[in-house]
Structure 1
Amino acid sequence: MFDVDAVVLDIEGTTSATGFVVDVLYPYSRSRFAALLDERGDDPDVRRAVAQVRDLLGEPDAGAGRVEEALHAWLDDDVKATPLKTLQGIVWAEGFARGDLVSHFYDDVVPVLRRWHADGVRLHVYSSGSVAAQRAWFASSPAGDLRPLVDGWYDTENAGPKQEPGSYHRIAATAGTRAGRLLFLSDRPGELDAARAAGWRTAGIRRPGEPYYEQGVGDHAQAGTFDGIGIRTGTAGSST
């Protein structure tokens, strides 16, 4: 049981299956990067992401083919590069909008999120996937549009890397919630460690078949489903 005012959710491996992301979304984005760079190269978000790819490569004159090659290599190595996530988010948002894609949530997640929201718990999302991808994901669930449940969206661009305590300090400040009144749910021990170092409450979600299941979540509280997490809210110290 956690006495908190807000819950911050990881997506991959926590609310949703990593296998779906790897087996469905990654190939979808891979097959559409070339068209995105060709057809929407003047889009401000695409242009900014391409510039970031060039910066990371140290190749300021890299053409579209070289940029696409880098994106594919980062996908192969599961590199959480911000421009990769930005461009994936654009591709996925288009796919969800066209009806090509429907997101995945574990069966226990949506009923609990709805209950927490009804009880006054503020919900936020913090994922290595871009905010655009997060919004599209929650908008296109099998249970309908879940975006109204979420108060804030955070990624590695607007918050920072997920294994650095400073990122969690930034989220707390932006959300207007004291660190000790925030609960972070994730399947990755390094992320949970960083959140706890920033003063947050933490709980690991351990689902059989997920990549981090055997590794465990260290000495963090843990649950196998969202049903195993109890939340009660209070008013003391809820804002910064």
Structure 2
Amino acid sequence: MKYSAIITDIEGTTSRISFVTEVLFPYAARELPGFIRANLSDAAVAAALDACRALMQQADATVDAIIARLQQWIAEDQKITPLKALQGMVWQQGYQSGAFRGHLYQDAFATLTQWQQQGIKLYVYSSGSVQAQQLLFRYSDFGDVTPLFSGYFDTRVGAKRDISSYAAILQQLQLPPKQVLFLSDVTAELDAAKVLGIATVQLIRDGQSPSDHPAVSSFSQIEEL
């Protein structure tokens, strides 16, 4: 493997899309109202609610109004930072209680482990909050695999389809683009990274449409590219 660093997406790449859509999202939608009302005095919750008010442009929005908007954003799969932060807090309770475990494809686990043992730095870039990313890997089907990763990026670095996001990541990694590989199932994300000279591979896990990026159906096939 010729890369110094590999950045991987989660949903549709290391993990089943259905784990997010059929397990995590419904759990958050169901548990979020009660969680918020029970933790109004928590500083992180209060900060997320204030960020929601700013996005809603309603400085005096009630908790009920915010919850309603959050439920709307969940239904629309909006990539909104305070929503992702609150979801991460709720999912932490779910993981810790054993309500579910983080899905991780066996081929992703095996290959990521191999790369890390080879000295390649591994990073995650997902629209889910860093907390949510770490929870999925800490409570994964293969146990705590967080030691595999050197860092995590979320929407605070920028939207995943924006070229500037990948420029910001490169700046933090302090590596030239040709030494970095980005893995995702979404063509638009791969396109944005490729503009900067980052190498790309598309994961075709759930019938995604192939693109002009190199494509594989398993992490184990990436070594062959």
* TM-score interval, normalised by the smaller of the two chains: over 0.9
Q: Which consecutive residues of structure 1, in runs of 5 or more, have no partner in the other structure?
A: 233-240
Write the letter of the residue equivalent to 1:130.
S
Q: Give the TM-score, by structure 1 length.
A: 0.90
Q: Which consecutive residues of structure 2, in runs of 5 or more, have no partner in the other structure?
A: none
User: 1:106 aligns to what?
Assistant: 105
User: 1:187 aligns to what?
Assistant: 185
How far off its partner does 1:127 sit? 0.3
Deviations 1:84-141 (A, max 9, x none): 1111111111211222220101121101111010011110000000000011000001
User: 2:145 aligns to what?
Assistant: 146
User: 2:64 aligns to what?
Assistant: 65
Bigger proportion of residues as helix: 2
Identity of aligned residues (%): 37
Please give the root-mean-square deviation of Cα atoms over the aligned residues, in Å. Answer: 1.5
3-state SS of 1:86 partner? helix
User: 1:224 aligns to what?
Assistant: 217
3-state SS of 1:59 partner? coil
1:169–1:179 CA contact under 8 A, matched in 2: no
Rounded Cα–Cα distance in structure 2 between residues aligned with 1:56 and 1:149: 35
Residue 165 (structure 2) pairs with residue 167 (structure 1): yes
3-state SS of 1:3 partner? coil
2:12–2:206 CA contact under 8 A, matched in 1: no
Question: Between Structure 1 and Structure 2, how many residues are aligned?
Answer: 225
Q: Give the TM-score, by structure 2 length.
A: 0.96
Kindly report which structure 2 residues correspond to 1:54-93, keeping only aligned pairs within 5 A, or say none: 54-93=53-92
Rounded Cα–Cα distance in structure 1 between residues aligned with 2:43 and 2:150: 26
Residue 118 (structure 2) pairs with residue 119 (structure 1): yes
User: 1:235 aligns to what?
Assistant: none
2:178–2:199 CA contact under 8 A, matched in 1: yes
Rounded Cα–Cα distance in structure 2 between residues aligned with 1:144 and 1:101: 12
